[in-house]
Structure 1
Amino acid sequence: MFLPVTDHNPLRVIRFQYVTGTLIALNAALFVATGATMVPGAFQAVTLSYGAVPAVVAGRAALDPSLAVLPDGASLLTYMFLHGGWLHLLTNMAFLWVFGDNVEDRLGHVRFLAFYLACGVAAAIAQVAMTPDSTAPLIGASGAVSGVMAAYLLYYPGARVWVLVFMRLPLRVPASWALGGWIVFQFASVLLAPGDETVGVAWWAHIGGFFVGLALAFLFAPRTPPAAQ
């Protein structure tokens, strides 16, 4: 739908978005270690072992014993650090870089990290709840990033954001337009999705991460916000 490029929303409390930067670096490093340097068959084994397979999480299927390397439930955390390709990684990290710094500024480093991980776990649970028979591994940071986007929408709805619409057309729009349109697009995609829920984009993870992020952003926010824009 669109790719964020930058925003005009300077940091007010923290000096640098250390957690956001570390998350991006970690995702990139793990992609190189588990994706870019592996043959497809080996990477598929990684996604089954460390991705969140809805049917496995729901107890309706079991992994091959050679792939079951994590304790029960641990894949709800590890899945969000795996990506299926450069485009998958770069788009997620672009959203995190543009919107994550200001949310980290508002919440502080520790609360932001807890917020991010909680949104990612909630996103996976939403996908499992809606597609409990799916055997397709859920991977990617988009569920957690969806929560970050919701927090940005709550905290900075009037901030101006440069986006590339359809990856081509540059526009400068209010965050409320961009992020409000994004969540509407997720719901529309669910309605238009094919009946086979084992393939395609994890729309329910996006929706779940967004609305849990909205609720947590309200609860996590400090009583005294930074200076108004």
Structure 2
Amino acid sequence: MIPLRDSVRPKSFPFINYSLIILNIYVFYKQLQLFPDELEPFLQTYGVIPAKMAELSPWLLLSGQWEPFLPFVTSLFLHGSLLHIGGNMLYLWVFGDNVEDRLGHFRYLLFYLIAGIAGSLAHIYFNPDSSVPTIGASGAIAGVLGAYFLAFPKARVLALVPIAFFVTITEVRAVFFLFLWFILQVLNGLTALGVGRNAQMVAWWAHIGGFAAGAFFFKLFKKRK
């Protein structure tokens, strides 16, 4: 299912969510300007490489050496294709504004980054030997979905739904839409465990870890009434 819009309107202007979308698109535009021989070292530098990141010690952060951990953030703004960034930004557009409204602007930005990092850590845990750079905002956006799942279960999502050889537009409950999305990630993640770690095309466990982290940290970050 492909979401088109939801039924909840935010009470405040979601400028952080819009800024994240604009920044992702801008970075992807700059990526397109790189030559093939420039793109690979660029992704090796700013993407999350599980085999490399798994060797890092948290003590480096305590000693002020944060540069090796920078890919945990930079990878969230890189994408591999137009379809990749288009799908991610569509989900962020539909669901992110209301989560920002519920958390508050600064908390939402912090929440987004933490969920993305948690997604990367989950991917590293299940693929510690992979040398393939992991890029994309999917883990962070999965965190947004986890928060939306808890905050707006009764909301309705207008979505494109494929039925056999046809596609129809219908409204579905957000709780059903997101539950189905999460189950599909888990099924694909379990299937991917039997695939060569350097052959996986999608970081399914980043989605799963991001969603779980989003649901957990939403409870901590949401504004008190």
* TM-score (normalizing by structure 1): 0.88
Q: Which residue, 76, 79, 84 being the options, matches 1:83?
A: 79
Aligned residue identity for 1:56: K
Following the alignment from structure 1 to structure 2, what is the Cα–Cα distance between the partners of residues 3 and 114?
27
* 1:154 correspondence with 2:155: no
Match of 1:19 in 2: 16
Compute the displacement of 1:71 (Å).
Answer: 1.6
The CA distance in 1 between the partners of 2:37 and 2:124, in whole Å, is: 24
Instruction: Return the alpha-carbon distance in structure 1 between the equivalents of residues 107 and 75 of structure 2.
Output: 21
- Alignment counterpart, residue 31 of structure 1, candidates 23, 28, 32: 28
Matches within 5 A, 1:172-191: 172-191=171-190
Q: Contact between 2:104 and 2:223, CA under 8 Å: does it hold in 1?
A: no
| Partner AA of 1:189 in structure 2 | N
CA–CA distance in structure 1, aligned partners of residues 106 and 128 of structure 2: 32
Distance 1:165 1:128 in 2: 32
Is the CA contact (8 Å cut-off) linking 2:157 and 2:171 kept in structure 1?
yes
Please give the TM-score of this superposition, normalised by the length of structure 2.
Answer: 0.90
| Equivalent of 2:38 in 37, 42, 50 | 42
Q: CA deviation at 1:41?
A: 3.1
Separation in 2, partners of 1:30, 1:129: 27
Percent sequence identity is: 41
Alignment of 1:9-158 (within 5 A): 9-12=8-11, 14=12, 16-34=13-31, 36-59=32-55, 71-158=67-154
Residue 72 of structure 1 aligns to a residue in which SS? helix
CA shift digits 1:13-45 (9 cap, x unpaired): x1x1100000000000000001x2223332222
| Partner SS for 1:171 | strand
Q: How many angstroms apart in 2 are the aligned matches of 1:38 and 1:169?
A: 39
Aligned length: 211
Counterpart position of 1:200: 201
2: distance between equivalents of 1:127 and 1:116?
Answer: 17
Equivalent residue of 1:138, what SS? coil
Which 5+ residue runs of structure 1 have no aligned equivalent?
61-69, 225-229
Deviation at 1:169, TM superposition (A): 3.1
Name the aligned partner's letter for residue 20 of structure 1.
N
- Does structure 1 conserve the Cα–Cα contact (< 8 Å) formed by 2:154 and 2:174? yes
Distance 1:41 1:216 in 2: 40
Cα pair 2:161 2:169 within 8 Å, conserved = yes
Give the match for residue 161 of structure 2. 165
Quote the offset at 1:112 in angstroms: 0.3
Counterparts of 1:209 and 1:83 in 2: how far apart (Å)?
17
Q: Quick one: distance in 1 between partners of 2:188 and 2:168?
A: 21
SS at match of 2:68: coil
Give secondary structure in 2 for the equivalent of 1:91: helix
Aligned partners of 1:53 and 1:153: how far apart in 2? Answer: 30
Which segments of 5 or more consecutive residues in structure 2 lack a partner in the other structure? 57-65
- CA deviation after TM superposition for structure 1 residue 155, in Å: 0.3
